[in-house]
Amino acid sequence: MPSSGEFSVPQEIVDATLRAADARGVPAADVTLRDIALEAGISRSTLLRRLGGTRHALDEALRAAGVEPGGRKPVRERAIEATATLISRQGLGTVTFERVAASAGCSVPSLYATFGGRDELLRAVFERHSPIVDVETFLAGPRGDLEDTVRQLYRLLAGALEREPRVLPALLAEVFARPGDENVQMVFRTVTPRLLAGLGAWLSGEAAAGRIRDMPPLLLTQQMTSPIFLHFLLRPVTSRVAAADLPTVDETIEGFTQAFLRAVAPPSLSPENKA
């Protein structure tokens, strides 16, 4: 029997391995010989004969084709990254499975196998690139006083708004441009309940404790998030037309922290009652 270094693996076996890896969302090294055989339409024993009796020959053939068997990210990760970049550069409406597959280097069927549909892909992208998970994690742990908590939450929001790819600013731009668009509505049907359950519930607790005004959770949440969302949405433009007047990110966070605390201060602590 020839050694793996001398054995030539048929191209159709290499192709079948890559298709099977994409369909299952795993690196090529993690695809079983059974799955490769099924993809190639042959038996496992026939596959082994065509590999010269060793998996090592297949790994060498994959490397020769420019694919590191264990170094390729799963379909899920590649699709989320590709979709985030598409949204950031071209908007939410440009996301189709065909475009994502082309950008992620996978097949459309593998996207359906991984996500089930476009809505689930978009939910995964916003789970990754929105501040929701970071906010939920922060609020579930130990915190400082009200002022420090507000400041830290603003840091989390600012971080999500500034990091690349700029998914959250792209979504906010879509909201202003096409608030009735079904894509925008779908994302907000996913995001809003979690935002209210996390940030809104914490603000309601602060109101119940008398530390801030008693207002509906939605209004408190919007009072807190709207100014910083708008600022960072406009910040790239402002940096070009009024750079000298643009505060640093730290100055911005501190300014919004103090403004929010003044805006929601309970009547007994409001400036007019202190005078």
What does the pLDDT look like over 137-182, one tens digit per residue?
999 999 999 999 999 999 999 999 998 999 989 988 888 888 888 8
CA nearest 257: which of 231, 224, 233, 209? 224
Question: Which pLDDT score, from 0 to 100, does residue 171 have?
Answer: 87
Question: Which pLDDT score, from 0 to 100, does residue 261 have?
Answer: 97
pLDDT confidence bin for 246, thresholds 50/70/90: very high
pLDDT confidence bin for 44, thresholds 50/70/90: confident
- Tell me the C-alpha distance between 154 and 93, whole Å: 29
pLDDT at 273 over 70: no
Q: Which residue has the higher pLDDT, 196 or 4?
A: 196
CA nearest 168: which of 191, 135, 198, 196? 191
pLDDT confidence bin for 272, thresholds 50/70/90: low
Class for the domain spanning 130-270: mainly alpha
pTM of the model: 0.71
Question: Which pLDDT score, from 0 to 100, does residue 159 have?
Answer: 93
Residue linked to tokens 């055989």:
37
- C-alpha dist (Å) from residue 30 to 16, 17, 65, 90, 224: 14, 10, 17, 34, 46
State percent of the chain over pLDDT 70: 94
Q: Which residue has the higher pLDDT, 18 or 53?
A: 18
CA nearest 91: which of 182, 179, 157, 183? 183
Least confident of 38-42, 64-68, 134-138, 229-233: 64-68
Task: Summarize pLDDT for 188-239 with one digit per residue, the tens.
Answer: 888 888 888 999 999 999 999 999 999 999 999 999 999 999 999 999 999 9
Q: What is the mean pLDDT of the chain?
A: 87
> What's the burial of 75, exposed, middle or buried (CB within 10 Å: 0-12/13-18/19+)?
buried
Q: With respect to CATH, is domain 75-117 assigned 1.10.10.60?
A: yes
In this structure, the number of other CB atoms found within 10 A of the CB of residue 83 comes to 31
